[in-house]
Amino acid sequence: MTEDSRKEKILTKRNILLFLRNFGLTFLILSPIFIFLGLMYLYQLTYPDVKDPFVQWSGHDPRTEAIITWETKEKEESTVWYGTNKDNLKWDENDDEDVYIHKIILEGLDPDTKYYYQVNIDNSEKSEVFSFITAPDDTDTEFDFIAYSDSQQFFGIGWHNQICDAIARHDDISFVTDVGDLTQDWDEKPDWNQFFKETSVYMRKYPFVPIMGNHDGYYPEDDPDAKLHWYETYFGATNTSCDPHTFYYSFNWSNTLFIVAEISKSGDEDISLDRNIRHDIWLNKTLANGQDKTFRVLMFHRQLFSAEDDNDGLIARIVPIVEKYNISLVLYGHHHHYERFLYNDHTYVCLGGGGGQQFGANYFNPGENTECFAMGPSYTKISVESNKITLTTFSPENDVIDNCILKLKDSKAILQE
């Protein structure tokens, strides 16, 4: 062996030892993080498949209909007992198919009425009695609802449980909506188990309005027979069109039209919006027919304006619709912070403080349209009256982060200075 070969062999051996040493030191330094993430994931696996019943109506009329959904540990038939007297649940609806995840639609309900209900959770047991209130039939009833977004938590780590506990402390809320990205991984059952366990504290009191985000599922547009994801399993497709896997819908509550849309950036991450598809036709038609309402609230997941990054394509696409149909308030999420915008006298709110991790403050750059910007956990209570909408955004400790009033003037909701 030559001297050069010997030196090269020694150098190679030294490099291998240096690599192993550096790798070992890096692993040693990062091991607490890996251990923590592993333990959190294992803890997430402890959330049960069994789920308390909750009320939602994606695609149905909340004045006269309600969907009761729950999950049992064994396959069994589905039965809901309900009535207006807690001690006398005199009506029942059932389905004799044996399933784990149960969905029963109650129809023919009276508007603005408190109903009590319970379900079968075991062949020989019933759940406790829960309740909900149907939407009013008139347009003079004042009401409050709560909105937040991006409750997904990486490895189950986040503050969504704190948000849920804070929401549950409120009284007289008509419904709660999560504006997309309910979970981190749409096809991971533990993520959904955690979501429903944490939301159960307020779902037992208030109906839930689901909105699908890009983390909640996707379908290849050319594959209508794609495997059902958990979002559709729990909430069901809506009945607004004949397209498969449809999740856009609208509903009226008192003097307000709510529109839940599916608006994506583009591509196959979720269902894209195009002028020529039924979704776009439905969106324009629904807004045109809703001009008799005092207010119109548009809700979808993808951001328009944001201190993180404006979505210029969606702004160019959606803002003309907002202005054409005089939409009073636009709610979305996707970016993990709270931010309120005023653009051409219309108010847009990013509600992304529901649970997901956030970037550092120096990552954001609020622009000239930003009225309020905040990082950290948050949720927003929205109060609707005959001539105004009041938004109050809270931390989980119920500190007020933001407060504003949109006052009706010449049929338009104008931000009050």
| Contact status, residue 214 vs residue 352, Cβ threshold 8 Å | no
Per DSSP bridges, beta strands 329-332 and 125-126 are unpaired
Q: What is the distance in angstroms between the CA of the first residue and the CA of the last residue of the chain?
A: 85
Cα–Cα–Cα angle for 98, 104, 107, nearest 5°?
A: 150
pLDDT attached to residue 41: 66
Residue 224 has pLDDT above 60, yes or no: no
pLDDT attached to residue 268: 37
Residue 49 has pLDDT above 50, yes or no: yes
Closest CA to 290 of 264, 253, 316: 253
Cross-strand bridge partners of residue 147: 177, 380
Q: How far apart are CA 305 and CA 367, in angstroms?
A: 9
Full 3-state SS string of 277-293:
CHHHHHHHHHHHHCCCC
Mean of the pLDDT values across residues 228-233? 82
Q: How far is CA 95 from CA 120, 197, 239, in A?
A: 11, 25, 20
323 or 362, which is more confident?
323
Tokens of 278: 């039924």
| Contact status, residue 392 vs residue 403, Cβ threshold 8 Å | yes
Mean of the pLDDT values across residues 64-77? 94
pLDDT attached to residue 417: 76
pLDDT attached to residue 195: 95
Largest CA distance in the chain: 97
For the CA atoms of 278, 279, 281, 283, what is the dihedral angle to 10 degrees? 160
Full 3-state SS string of the chain:
CCHHHHHHHHHHHHHHHHHHHHHHHHHHHHHHHHHHHHHHHHHHCCCCCCEEEEEECCCCCCCCCEEEEEEEEEEEEEEEEEECECCECCEEEEEEEEEEEEEEEECCCCCCCEEEEEEEEECCEECCCEEEECCCCCCCCCEEEEEECCCCCECCECCHHHHHHHHHCCCCCCEEEEECCCCCCCCCHHHHHHHHHHHHHHHCCCCEEEECCCCCCCCCCCCCCCCCCHHHHHHCCCCCCCCCCCCCEEEEECCEEEEECCCCCCCCCCCCCCCCCHHHHHHHHHHHHCCCCCEEEEECCCCCCCCCCCCHHHHHHHHHHHHHCCCCEEEECCCCCEEEEEECCEEEEEECCCCCCCCCHHHCCCCCCEEEEECCCCEEEEEECCCEEEEEEECCCCCEEEEEEEEEECCEEEECC
pLDDT attached to residue 31: 65
Q: How far apart are CA 268 and CA 391, in angstroms?
A: 34
Residue 38 has pLDDT above 70, yes or no: no
Condensed to tens digits (0 to 9), the pLDDT of residues 356-414 reads 788 776 678 888 999 999 999 999 999 999 999 999 999 999 999 999 999 999 999 99
Condensed to tens digits (0 to 9), the pLDDT of residues 122-157 reads 777 899 999 999 999 988 899 999 999 999 987 777
pLDDT attached to residue 76: 93
19 or 11, which is more confident?
19
Condensed to tens digits (0 to 9), the pLDDT of residues 192-211 reads 999 999 999 999 999 999 99
Which of 5-19, 32-46, 279-293 tops mean pLDDT? Answer: 279-293
**Buried (b) or exposed (e) across 237-249, using 16+ Cβ within 10 A?**
bbebeeeebbbbb
Condensed to tens digits (0 to 9), the pLDDT of residues 244-286 reads 677 889 999 999 999 998 876 553 334 445 555 677 788 889 9
Residue 18 has pLDDT above 50, yes or no: yes
- Which single residue is written with the structure tokens 């969907």? 67
